[in-house]
Amino acid sequence: MSIRNILNKKAFILIISFLLANSCETGDSDRLLNVENYWFTTADFYFLHPVHTFKHLPENYKRERIESFIDRQLIVYKGIDEGYLKLPGFKEEYRRFQKRALINFYFDRTVLDSVVTKHRLLNRYESLDYDKRDLYTFDEYAAVLKERLIKEFSNEIQERYLKTVQNIKKASGFKSYPQNIEGLAKIYLDTYVSLRNDSVFYAPFDILKRLHFEKPVYQINGKDITLKKFITKIENFPLALPNQFSNPEVLNEIIEMVAINTYILKLAERLNFDRDPLYKQRLRNQKFSILYNLVIRDAVSRKISVSDDNIYQYYLDNVDSLYRTKEEFEVQEIFVKDQKLAEDILKKINRGEDFQQLADTFTERYQTKPRKGYLGFLRADMYGNIGRTAANIPPGQHCFEPIPSGKGFSIIKVLSVKESQPISFDDNRGKILEDYKDVSFKQKRAELIQALRDKYNYYVDYSKLIN
């Protein structure tokens, strides 16, 4: 497969992934949660808890999700209240998402809507069984149907996507200059080699910015674009790009991707897609997500104290409940397919006949027959009924009745028991560290939420979600 096809495939997959994640229409925008006179809406809620998964939950589960929503939005409001919207980190991440979302929204409206049409959605809804339609209105279930149709018609969507890109290239008059790009790639490679001996590390894009190259690398709308102008476009480009600038073919595809998607951004703005309510809701959802993550980073994650002493103390506090080996049972088995035969063998054992000799004679399990039915050491959660039964048999004893096992019946004897033992700190340090961080995170997040519930005045209109 060519580099061009690979990049086109990746771009298409990214767009489809975005559409699947955002295919749900926002629905009712009624005000739901007020925090210090700042409103969060039912659309905000249904972004986190889609209506088709929420509507028919028992009331106690609904209230749990509403309380979870309150907790999350209080954290979001803390970010708004404390000026996170003005932070450079927030602005940069949000700016990139705005552009990325607008590119995807353009393809949503021009490609996706031409395949996953309202007519197809309605037909699919009408084909649902009556009980399903009785549970959900079309609008409530449209997101589920849309996701299914996107997957079902993915090939058609991809074909239309590629055709749309070709049409845009033609309309914009885009053309690259392969000879100039090949020369640029060579200069980049030479510069990269010359800088390898420096003690300073240079990222690929930083090397590209150091180059002096005056020839145009592509043309669009009749205008030649030089490396200097192209670099400014890369700096503002919202999508991830390969960094193989020394490969002329890859560099050409990078140039094409940047040029065409930059053109699409302007086209989407001319079509007023940036004013569409659904696009604005997507921006709102992302704004809240960024705020939530930044506040959690500062108020929770960065306040977790990780030290050898803390981790070891956590290990000592939890060694008996979390860091012990599981009890293991040494088991010998007689497996036969016929239940009557299993019952007869068990009678022989109860009369005192030797279990091992009987296993050698009768067991039919192919894998263990050479070992006279010896299964080795098992935990209670292994081999289904066999493990569970073994956990309740004292060493030296056998089961009281045949155990259904696969396509037959097993009679087992527990030869010995390997008791549970503490796992040493050094042998399990990695897991202990992750457990400590996870528990600390949940504790500090709960403390933050309680503090915010105490600090802010808030009101939630439960009637908007619970009838």
Grouped pLDDT means (10 residues each) for the chain, 467 residues: 48 49 49 96 95 93 96 98 96 94 96 96 95 92 94 95 95 96 95 85 90 95 95 87 91 94 95 96 97 97 94 95 94 94 95 93 88 92 92 94 92 95 94 96 97 97 88
Pick the CATH number of 328-418 from 3.40.50.2000, 3.40.50.1970, 3.40.50.300, 3.10.50.40: 3.10.50.40
- Of how many residues is the chain composed? 467
Listed by start position, the domains of the chain span: 3-172, 176-255, 301-321+424-464, 328-418
- Predicted confidence at residue 441, as pLDDT, reads 97
